[in-house]
Amino acid sequence: MKKTLFLALACTTLAGCTTVKPWEREVLARDDMQLDANALDTALDDHIYFSKEGTSGGRGFGGGGCGCN
Amino acid sequence: MGSPCEVLVESSHEQPAQAVASAVAACAWRIEAKFSRYRDDSAVARINRAGGETVEVDEETAKLLDFADHAWKMSDGKFDITSGVLRRAWTFDGRARVPSPDDVHALLPLVGWSRVTWQRPRLTLQPGMEIDFGGIGKEYAVDLALAAAVACTDAPVLVNFGGDLAATGPQRDGRAWRVGVEGVAGSHIPWTLELAGGALATSGDTYRFITDGTDRRPHILDPRSGEPVRGAPHSITVAAATCVEAGMWCTLAMLEGAGAEAFLAREGVRHWIQRK
Amino acid sequence: MANDKRIGGALAAAACGLLGTASPVRAPAAEPATKSTDGLWDVDTAFLYYGESDGRVQDASLNAIAVRDFGDDRKLSLDLGIDTLTGASPSGATASDQPQTFTSPSGRGTYTTNAGEVPLDSSFHDTRFALNAGWSQPFARLYTFNAGLGVSTEFDYQHVGANLGLTRDFNQRNTTLNLAVAYGQDKVKPVGGVPMPFSSMGDVVDDDVTPPSRSGDSEDKKVLDVLLGVTQVLGRHTLLRLNYSYSDSSGYLTDPYKILSVVDPVTGEPLVRTPPPGVEGPGGVYLYEHRPDARKKQSVYGELRQDFSGKVLSLGYRYSTDDWEVDSHTLEGRFRFPVGESSYLEPHVRYYTQTAADFYRYSLADGAPLPEFASADARLADLDAYTVGVKYARQTTGGNEWSARLEWYRQTSKAPAQTLIGNQPGNVQMPDFDAVILQFGYHFSL
């Protein structure tokens, strides 16, 4: 499907991007640059939005279902 | 040095930081020029060319030879700066291979600090023997570079030569420097140590910015027998007061092979060992 | 080496001889102070309060995530949450210009809504416990494997789930590919039993009698999720993540407490009904909703993290589409900047918009044939939501962190025009609301 194709293309072009060497990763290694920097906050938010909106997920796998009203 | 060298200076002014950087770089280049085995004009090359003749060395080289001598005695001969010739036993045919026992045994007569006559300041090697400060040179450079930095500034400084590092103390706000050591099986973030002072050295095939990029390291050979050291860990990181001590602990522990953890624990040395 | 010979002192002396006065920086007895971050529990805890306007839902929860590193990148994480929910939520019935009476879910009593107000069912007081455990470890030089189990329970709902994942690094760890699969099995056991689709809300019954038109005690639901993602380093200061997800739910996907009002086809006003003499019951005709028993969803998600000399901007976008025709866009941004030596502020905004499910109805027309599926749950209508908030955090001297977060959420929904009946256009009242989110957190090591 079109969206998957776009994603695959994006991946291959991105892979050709600059390569950052291990000794150049001092910024990327900082806590606030980690993709799970706000893990607890986003998990709690995702739980709220799961029970108040029609769409959920996409970011990763959360804690699973609830009978939220 | 074969690896990227950096110095971190925590200062709000550029001028002292520049002065420190120049002093540290000068130190690194000087040590490399003087003790590199690869440079024809180095003091080490001059010693190795002597062909059995006695060579008189300067004060700094003498101190390093004294240190190597102490290390040889402390390790019952496992640490030996004349063991470098054993590298001639490896044939490189596109991939590093374990040397054949015959090739290694053929080289053993050229190995052994006991065959060297060292009477400060005169050094006499047997013809065909070589010395190599690879096991202490970089760590020595780190300690000297740190001292040079301290002479320039009061600011917190950390010197890092390819993974061997030393710091004057913690950063201004009291927090320790964060040092990343790449884990055995790798991850985005290296596992982290917090160094608030003193030195760290790492040995092994942990990715320490070695430019040849191969994943496999040559086997470590016991210079007394030419046999590979059994059960050497993947990498060892040691913290000590000075970088030369930390580096020596790493080397001695590697030579203990499977007994590396027990050795360092017995000596009360702060260490982290990774096995594949 | 002789087994009990200690060489530490000799080595220190040798080093001193080598470095001599060139190494003045450390006192003779100095030990380097190093602290390794493995071997400790890293714990993040939070107390969260969520409160909606107008006496609607309020939720208070206590949460903790504890991670322990066993060295060599092997990690165990435990995630525990307890929350209590009180307050009222919209039942799906429409507002009316007359007061309305409804039977409560248990069938034992009734509740009344004033004229002109959106009916809210306030009979929910619920406590939920959730526990998740996860393990991750490398199993070859560039691969990491992870697995997790989760359970949650509340008085009318139970969930059990498991997930597995694999990541692989490329390009000197500049690129990471991630494949993950999750499976969940839920059981819903509604108060009063599972209502039959489109059955009428019945009159009040006695304690030992099941309310009418119930098909059973409980129903099951299964969810399968697959995620394919790539994380790519774009530069020394930039990180990008792209995910594609596919989700397949099947089983009982209906909300057993939600109803639709049956209205007069000309006026659009709810029908009026009189319960039999001596019996309490609904003052109108209300039918229990019915959703399809399958839902397939796909989404793409992208997140960019950019450092600006110590300040970090993160931007995220998600597009989701499913076979219920609920399509949504989510746009979210956070900007973290240091304040002083050991604190930071992080403002946050989020915008969400969705299109209505194809079976969403505002109400049902009396006499018209029933659709195959219908729900008046506003969460399946056309919806817009905004979140604006800020987080403040402060590090203590021990390396722990306190934080506080305050956010304001506003949701507005709209019934698609074609679902309106009679005079309803211009008279529609959707259960829009505001909510405040307040969180206090403490992050520490054990």
Residue by residue, what is the 3-state secondary structure of chain C?
CCCCCCCHHHHHHHHHHHHHHHCCCCCCCCCCCEEECCCCEEEEEEEEEEEECCCECEEEEEEEEEEEECCCCCEEEEEEEEEEEECEEECCCCCCCCCEEEECCCCCCEEEECCCCCCEECCCCEEEEEEEEEEEEEEECCEEEEEEEEEEEECCEEEEEEEEEEEEEECCCCEEEEEEEEEEEEEECCCCCEECCCCECCCCCCCCCCCCCEEECCEEEEEEEEEEEEEEEEECCEEEEEEEEEEEEEECCCCCCCEEEEECCCCCCECCCCCCCCCCCCCCCEEECECCCEEEEEEEEEEEEEEECCEEEEEEEEEEEECCCCCEEEEEEEEEEEECCCEEEEEEEEEEEECCCCCECCCEECCCCCCCCEECCHHHCEEEEEEEEEEEEEECCCCCEEEEEEEEEEEEEECCHHHCCCCCCCCCCCCCEEEEEEEEEEEEEC
- Chains B, C: CB pairs < 8 Å: 156
- Give percent of chain B above pLDDT 90: 14
Interface membership of A54 toward B (CB under 8 Å): no
Helix axes B14-35, B137-152, angle to 10 degrees: 150
- Mean pLDDT, range C293-316, rounded to an integer: 95
Say which residue the tokens 């010979």 belong to: C5
Q: Do A34 and B190 touch (CB under 8 A)?
A: no
Mean pLDDT of chain C: 90
Chain A CB contacts of C328 below 8 Å: 53-55
The answer to whether the beta carbons of residues C343 and C393 sit under 8 Å apart is: yes
User: Looking at chain C, which subunits does it touch, using at least 3 CB pairs closer than 8 Å as the criterion?
Assistant: A, B
pLDDT at C235 over 70: yes
Query: Cβ–Cβ contacts within 10 Å for residue B49, how many?
Result: 11
Instruction: Look up residue A59 and give its amino acid.
Output: R
Closest Cα in chain B to C398:
B175
- Mean pLDDT, range C80-97, rounded to an integer: 92
Chain C CB contacts of B266 below 8 Å: 4, 6
Higher pLDDT, C347 or B200: C347
When scoring C56, C344, C379, C434 by the number of chain A Cβ atoms within 10 A, the one with the most, hence best to mutate, is C379
DSSP state of B198: E
DSSP state of B50: S
> According to the model, what pLDDT value does residue A9 have?
55
Least confident of A36-50, B14-28, B88-102, C191-205: B88-102
Residue C420 Cα distances to C273, C364, C373, C416, C424, angstroms: 22, 9, 16, 7, 6
pLDDT at C1 over 60: no
Mean pLDDT of chain B: 80
Contact residues, C window 357-416, toward B, CB-based 8 Å cutoff: 397, 399
Higher pLDDT, C396 or C246: C246
> According to the model, what pLDDT value does residue A68 have?
58
- Given B6, B178, B182, which is nearest A22 (Cβ)? B182
> According to the model, what pLDDT value does residue A57 have?
77
pLDDT digits over B117-167, tens only?
999 899 999 998 988 888 788 899 999 999 998 888 888 889 988 888 898
- Mean pLDDT, range B188-197, rounded to an integer: 64
- DSSP, collapsed to helix, strand or coil, labels residue B158 as strand
Interface membership of A22 toward B (CB under 8 Å): yes
Closest Cα in chain B to C4:
B266
The dihedral sign for the CA sequence B50, B56, B61, B65: positive
Total of domains in chain C? 1
pLDDT digits over C260-288, tens only?
999 999 999 999 999 999 899 999 999 99
> According to the model, what pLDDT value does residue B231 have?
77
> According to the model, what pLDDT value does residue B153 have?
85
The answer to whether the beta carbons of residues C390 and C423 sit under 8 Å apart is: no
CA distance A51 to chain B (A): 33
pLDDT at B184 over 60: no
End-to-end CA distance of chain A: 34
Residues C47 and C36: their CA atoms lie apart, in Å, by: 29
- Mean pLDDT, range C323-335, rounded to an integer: 96
pLDDT at B51 over 90: no
CA-closest candidate to residue C92, choices C105, C80, C83, C81: C105
- Give percent of chain B above pLDDT 70: 83
- Given B66, B194, B195, which is nearest C17 (Cβ)? B66
- In CATH, what number is assigned to the domain containing residue C169? 2.40.170
- Mean pLDDT, range C192-207, rounded to an integer: 91
Q: What are the E-state strand segments in chain B?
A: 5-9, 54-56, 117-119, 122-124, 157-161, 164-167, 177-181, 191-195, 198-204, 235-240, 270-274
A44 assigned to some structural domain: yes
> According to the model, what pLDDT value does residue B94 have?
45
With cut-offs at 50, 70 and 90, classify the pLDDT of residue A45: very high
Domain range enclosing A34? 18-52
Chain B CB contacts of A35 below 8 Å: none
The answer to whether the beta carbons of residues C126 and C57 sit under 8 Å apart is: no
Q: Do C26 and B241 touch (CB under 8 A)?
A: yes
Q: Do A35 and C303 touch (CB under 8 A)?
A: yes
pLDDT at A13 over 60: no
- Given B6, B178, B209, which is nearest A22 (Cβ)? B209
- Mean pLDDT, range C288-300, rounded to an integer: 96
pLDDT at A19 over 60: yes
Interface membership of B132 toward C (CB under 8 Å): no
- DSSP, collapsed to helix, strand or coil, labels residue B253 as helix
HSE-up of residue B46 (Cα within 13 Å, Cβ side):
13
Could you give the angle at the alpha carbon of C138 between the alpha carbons of C163 and B249, nearest 5°? 150
Least confident of A45-49, A64-68, B52-56: A64-68
- Chains A, B: CB pairs < 8 Å: 15
- Given A23, A28, A29, which is nearest B4 (Cβ)? A23
> According to the model, what pLDDT value does residue C9 have?
82
Higher pLDDT, B78 or C375: C375
Contact residues, B window 170-209, toward A, CB-based 8 Å cutoff: 178, 180, 182, 188-190, 207, 209
Residues A69 and C408: their CA atoms lie apart, in Å, by: 19
CA-closest candidate to residue B84, choices B49, B112, B42, B54: B112
> According to the model, what pLDDT value does residue C426 have?
87
- Mean pLDDT, range A29-39, rounded to an integer: 85
Judging by beta carbons within 10 Å of its beta carbon (0-12, 13-18, 19+), is residue C329 exposed, middle or buried? middle
Domain residues of chain B, as ranges?
A: 5-33+136-274
> According to the model, what pLDDT value does residue B16 have?
78
- Mean pLDDT, range C312-339, rounded to an integer: 96
pLDDT at C32 over 50: no
When scoring B153, B242, B271 by the number of chain C Cβ atoms within 10 A, the one with the most, hence best to mutate, is B242
C25 assigned to some structural domain: no
> According to the model, what pLDDT value does residue C357 have?
96
Q: Do B185 and C142 touch (CB under 8 A)?
A: yes
CA-closest candidate to residue B30, choices B131, B140, B127, B105: B140
- Give percent of chain A above pLDDT 70: 62
Q: Do B207 and A22 touch (CB under 8 A)?
A: yes
> According to the model, what pLDDT value does residue C371 have?
96
pLDDT digits over B15-48, tens only?
778 888 888 889 888 888 888 877 788 888 888 8
Closest Cα in chain A to C159:
A65
> According to the model, what pLDDT value does residue C29 have?
31
Q: Do B180 and A29 touch (CB under 8 A)?
A: yes
Domain range enclosing C87? 45-445
Cα C176–chain centre separation: 26
> According to the model, what pLDDT value does residue C27 have?
37
Phi, psi of C414 (to 5 degrees): -140, 140
User: Looking at chain A, which subunits does it touch, using at least 3 CB pairs closer than 8 Å as the criterion?
Assistant: B, C
- Give percent of chain C above pLDDT 90: 72
C319 assigned to some structural domain: yes
The answer to whether the beta carbons of residues C357 and C374 sit under 8 Å apart is: no
pLDDT digits over B84-108, tens only?
787 777 654 444 456 677 777 888 8
DSSP state of A23: G
pLDDT at C3 over 60: no
The dihedral sign for the CA sequence B23, B28, B31, B33: negative
Judging by beta carbons within 10 Å of its beta carbon (0-12, 13-18, 19+), is residue C402 exposed, middle or buried? middle
pLDDT digits over C361-385, tens only?
999 999 999 999 999 999 999 999 9
- Chains A, C: CB pairs < 8 Å: 184
With cut-offs at 50, 70 and 90, classify the pLDDT of residue B189: very low
Backbone φ/ψ region at C278: left (φ over 0), alpha (ψ -120 to 50), beta:
left
Chain A CB contacts of B188 below 8 Å: 28
C65 assigned to some structural domain: yes
Interface membership of B263 toward A (CB under 8 Å): no
> According to the model, what pLDDT value does residue C162 have?
95
Q: What is the CATH number of domain B5-33+136-274?
A: 3.10.520.10
> According to the model, what pLDDT value does residue B32 have?
85
Phi, psi of C305 (to 5 degrees): -120, 125
Cα C26–chain centre separation: 53
> According to the model, what pLDDT value does residue B99 have?
63
CA distance A10 to chain C (A): 9
A8 assigned to some structural domain: no
ipTM above 0.85, yes or no: yes
> According to the model, what pLDDT value does residue C30 have?
36
pLDDT at A41 over 90: yes
pLDDT at A1 over 60: no
Least confident of B267-276, C35-44, C125-134: C35-44
- Mean pLDDT, range C44-51, rounded to an integer: 96
With cut-offs at 50, 70 and 90, classify the pLDDT of residue C31: very low
Total of domains in chain A? 1
pLDDT at A64 over 70: no
CA-closest candidate to residue A16, choices C275, B136, B29, C170: C170
> According to the model, what pLDDT value does residue A23 have?
67
Interface membership of C149 toward B (CB under 8 Å): no
Contacts of B18 (CB under 8 A, 6+ apart): none
With cut-offs at 50, 70 and 90, classify the pLDDT of residue C185: very high
